[in-house]
């Protein structure tokens, strides 16, 4: 029993109405279906017979002779029969076959060798590039690490300076004598270093037999602690680093007295300037 769908395809095929894709698909089915083949064959014959429905016309008299003359000039039909086969001894095939196999395998191995070599070169190049990239990265990292260290170091220094500055105690000393009314002095004290810096200006010059002497007042001692002696130049200005001769645990004030030359262990002369350390 032919399905209706196949009947339709066979009818359209017989009249040459199928498109290329439909025709190919149908002929594929046709090749494996004997019943469909027979059915399509009868439809094709029926379609061919339709030619007889055309009004009967007699070909012109000269047409046959023209066609036969053209056949005389045309090459004879190409025979579809295959050329006779030439026997080929099997023994001759073996060496040729071996040679062919050898040639094919040699070619294959050669191509494989070239391919692998090219691949190896490519991988080496990639490795070298990777090494260069790694080295570059390492250098950059080292440079950045150094820079970071410098930055950290600088930051630490700044922090230390900040801490130092925070640790320093500053005192402005005021004049206590009429002859030093315009004098100004600033004492900076570093408790950790047990050292200080005294800057002053317009302090009256001392006589040859006299020196100024600085004292650090510490409640831990009954008398102020000696900070050292200094001379004043004609312009009345100078900067003096001083260090008490005894440990100072808590400086509360600085004083400058006028003493005999070389200084004294305990203040004897007049106090010309005095300054307290606030908050201490």
**CA torsion sign, 140 to 144 to 147 to 149?**
negative
Residue 86 Cβ, how far from other proteins at the closest point, in Å? 22
Instruction: Determine, following the binding rule CB under 8 A, whether residue 28 of this chain makes contact with other proteins.
Output: no
Q: How many residues line the site for other proteins (CB under 8 A)?
A: 45
Instruction: Determine, following the binding rule CB under 8 A, whether residue 8 of this chain makes contact with other proteins.
Output: yes
Binding other proteins (rule: CB under 8 A), the pick from 27, 31, 42, 114 is 42
* Residue 125 tokens, joined: 């190049």
* Residue 101 tokens, joined: 């196999």
- Output 67 or 133, the one with its CB closest to other proteins: 67
Binding other proteins (rule: CB under 8 A), the pick from 1, 20, 34, 57 is 57
- Output 9 or 277, the one with its CB closest to other proteins: 9
Binding other proteins (rule: CB under 8 A), the pick from 1, 21, 56, 166 is 56
Instruction: Determine, following the binding rule CB under 8 A, whether residue 64 of this chain makes contact with other proteins.
Output: yes
Instruction: Determine, following the binding rule CB under 8 A, whether residue 82 of this chain makes contact with other proteins.
Output: no
Residue 32 Cβ, how far from other proteins at the closest point, in Å? 16
In the complex, which residues of this chain contact other proteins (CB under 8 A)?
Answer: 4, 7-8, 11-12, 14-17, 41-60, 63-64, 66-68, 70-72, 74-81
């Amino acid at each position: 029993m032919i399905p209706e769908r196949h009947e339709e395809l066979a009818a359209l095929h017989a009249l040459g109405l199928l498109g290329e894709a439909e025709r190919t698909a149908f002929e594929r089915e046709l090749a494996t279906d004997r019943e469909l083949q027979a059915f399509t064959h009868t439809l094709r014959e029926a379609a061919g017979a339709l030619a007889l429905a055309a009004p009967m016309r007699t070909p012109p008299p000269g047409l046959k002779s023209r066609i036969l003359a053209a056949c005389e000039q045309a090459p004879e039909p190409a025979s579809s029969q295959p050329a006779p086969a030439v026997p080929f001894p099997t023994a001759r095939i073996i060496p040729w076959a071996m040679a062919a196999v050898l040639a094919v395998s040699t070619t294959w191995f050669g191509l494989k060798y070239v391919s692998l070599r090219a691949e190896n070169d490519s991988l080496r190049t990639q490795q070298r590039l990777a090494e260069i990239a790694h080295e570059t990265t390492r250098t950059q990292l080292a440079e950045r690490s150094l820079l970071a260290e410098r930055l950290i170091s600088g930051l630490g220094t700044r922090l230390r300076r900040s801490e130092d500055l925070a640790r320093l105690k500053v005192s402005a000393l005021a004049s206590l004598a009429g002859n030093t009314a315009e004098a100004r002095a600033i004492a900076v004290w570093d408790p950790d270093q047990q050292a200080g810096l005294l800057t002053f200006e317009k302090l009256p010059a001392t006589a040859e037999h006299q020196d100024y002497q600085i004292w650090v007042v510490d409640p831990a001692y009954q008398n102020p602690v000696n900070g050292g002696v200094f001379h004043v130049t004609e312009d009345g200005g100078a900067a003096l680093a001083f260090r008490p001769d005894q440990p100072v645990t808590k400086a509360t004030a600085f004083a400058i007295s006028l003493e005999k030359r070389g200084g004294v262990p305990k203040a004897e002369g007049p106090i010309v300037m005095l300054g307290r350390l606030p908050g201490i």
